[in-house]
Copies of this chain bind each other. A is one copy, B any other.
Amino acid sequence: MSIKPRQAGIELGLHASIVSVDRNEPHVVCVTSPGNSKARDSLPFGVFTPLAHRTLEIGLRRWVEEQTGLSLGYVEQLYTFGDRGRHAREGDRGPHMVSIGYLALTLQTDIAKEHVRQRRWYDFFPWEDWRLGRPQIIDTTIEPLLLEWCKRKPDNDAHEHPLGRKERIRFLFGLNGVSWDEEKVLDRYELLYEAGLLEEALIDGRSAAKAWDTPCELGRPMNHDHRRILATAMSRMRGKLKYRPLVFELLPPEFTLYELQKVVEAISGTPLHKQNFRRLVEGGGFVEATGDMKKSTGGRPAKLFKFRRVALVERPSPGLRVKATTPPPNA
């Protein structure tokens, strides 16, 4: 087969961040490297073939099914990554790889395939789990390392970023009384990457000898930019949680309000006020009682609820910042 040097073709990769929640712990489906326990994980992925796949999403579902045996429920496109050099390790031969990242949700928590497993989300982003309070790793490791990185460059270098390094750190990691914004997963990941604190940012592969079987200090790394794609998925999920009833895709058809709360907490990474959460969910019309009870709660039995599908469109996205006045504008 003679392959002509052609106009640097493009190959479209489809990458899936498949999220599930098992016993209040969020997981993501990973593909491990056969035979090499030190190698990093990948997200399930495949190449889009227009002849075989009618749409991008169909292609993704096909690949995921083939690689993991999972058939996906909710699927949402996230972002298309196409920077040159994303796959530098593969060498400069071959077509340029552009990747489309997807967020997918599943109820399944058991996978029957070799080299496929569900890993805990927070192994990759240990600084994102605030359910038991501010994670230690921020104060013990992240903040000191970031402040050191700060010193290596004048603070007001606007070329790099409209904000100084110190300010970015302060706002993204909630220092000096700034409150934590759990949606900024991607921004935090990128800051850490920029500061050279993540394994993936070390281009020379210096760290290849390290065993990644145990979570490392600044989170378990992944192949290529897969951890960035995962961070994008996490940001999107946490954001969307607040105005679209995504969580229900992660719960069985019937559930108690507390189970629902625990899943929301798992995703958002923050603790919630039980009574207020209940008021919000019930008042919002998202659920309706089935009439049945769940006994094995450890205390008083809990009412079982199911998702009200109508709620999907019933209420306009809440959280509006600007709101229309009544018809006759006073402008």
Contacts and interface: CB of A to CB of B under 8 A. Distances in A.
A55 B77 contact: no
A329 B320 CA distance: 28
Contact of A179 (B82, B316, B321): B316
A203 interface: no
B133 A322 contact: no
Interface string A238-277: 0101110000000000000000011011001011111001
Counting contact residues on chain A (CB < 8 A from B), the size range is 35 or more
15 contacts: A7-B51, A8-B49, A10-B10, A50-B82, A53-B84, A77-B80, A133-B328, A163-B310, A180-B324, A183-B316, A241-B322, A268-B322, A280-B321, A318-B319, A319-B319
B317 A320 contact: no
A7 B53 CA distance: 13
A162 interface: yes
B12 A312 contact: no
Given A317-B239, A325-B273, A12 B49 contact: no
Interface of A: 7-12, 48-51, 53-56, 77, 79-80, 82-84, 96, 98, 100, 130-134, 162-163, 167-168, 171-172, 179-184, 239, 241-243, 261-262, 264-265, 268, 270-274, 277, 280, 309-310, 312-314, 316-325, 327-331
Query: Chain A binding site: helix, strand, loop or mixed by DSSP?
Result: loop
A313 B167 contact: yes
A33 to B, nearest CB: 27
Given A12-B98, A168-B313, A318-B319, A327 B134 contact: yes
Nearest to A83: B55
B84 A270 contact: no
Contacts of A328: 133
Contacts of A180: 316, 324
Contacts of A309: 162-163
Given A56-B83, A133-B328, A272-B331, 13 more contacts: A8-B51, A10-B10, A50-B96, A54-B83, A56-B82, A162-B312, A171-B314, A181-B317, A183-B316, A242-B319, A264-B322, A280-B321, A280-B322
Nearest to A264: B322
A175 to B, nearest CB: 12
Nearest to A318: B321
A321 B243 contact: yes
